[in-house]
Amino acid sequence: MAIEIISVGIIGAGQMGTGIAQACATAGFAVRLNDREENRINVAFQNIGANLVKLVSKNKIEETRSQETISRLAPAYSLADLKDCDLVIEAATENETIKRDILSALCGSLKQNTIIATNTSSISVTRLAAATDRPERFIGIHFMNPVPMMQLVELIRGIATDEATYASAKAFVAKLGKISTMSEDFPAFIVNRILLPMINEAVYILYEGVGSVESIDAAMRLGANHPMGPLQLADFIGLDTCLSIMQVLYEGLADSKYRPCPLLVKYVEAGWLGRKSKRGFYDYRGPEPVPTR
């Protein structure tokens, strides 16, 4: 039987966790946000507040709804602070070891019927579920970035995920005002299985000198009607995340077409991770982004 989700815990106060927290609070859920670094929680709440101010100024939401959203947000300074949540979403960095450690430590703090979800964009939901004490109440809920704006949410069932958990997750996504699609538990699921090889191929085109950063992005914006060029999009996602997903695809499917481009590896090794580090395929340190190649 599906459970009613009223309170949501979120682990990870980065870009994705912050967006999920905003979306959940706006939709009426009580939200507890956790991060191993207390300051990141404070920064996340400040960013949510700034985002809501912008929405109010653009008449997208009313001031009263903005204040109600903020009132539903609370910090969780330890995993134990998530004990009363009906759903806990892990949104830590895209690293399987880190995720498994968090999930294993989390279980002892939760109610018996609490659903655990992972926001992983590529890692096996079945393997992550095995790190918990409730694989039947574990599911992948993969939000798209930026979470408050994007309509789609991928639901990924692990081999042990039961029907009630899936039904509860689907109802939760609907309450967020978003649309869910179900994916089987294969590397990178649906969206990133299609999207990331395209981005990786764009990096190969740059690496081989077929086109410049500007020409590649312009070609896909104007020639394929994409709202954002693939290299600009890679910077937005984070080049470390792009590389991580390509590595999962390459290792999980054992097909050479998924081999990460050496140039993508070099950028990550240099710490040029895109917008979040101010440099990637574009340099964001000045008033306007400037291509780095």
Q: Which residues are catalytic?
A: 121, 142, 154, 192
Q: Distance between CA 17 and CA 236 in Å, rounded?
A: 16
Q: How far apart are CA 91 and CA 84, in angstroms?
A: 18
CA angle (39 as vertex; 11, 121 as ends), nearest 5? 30
Q: Which residues contact 230 (CB under 8 A, 6 or more apart)?
A: 198, 199, 202, 216, 217, 220
Look up tokens 């999207």; give the residue: 195
- Distance from the Cα of residue 81 to its chain's centroid: 22
Q: Where are the beta strands (DSSP E) in 160-226?
A: 179-183
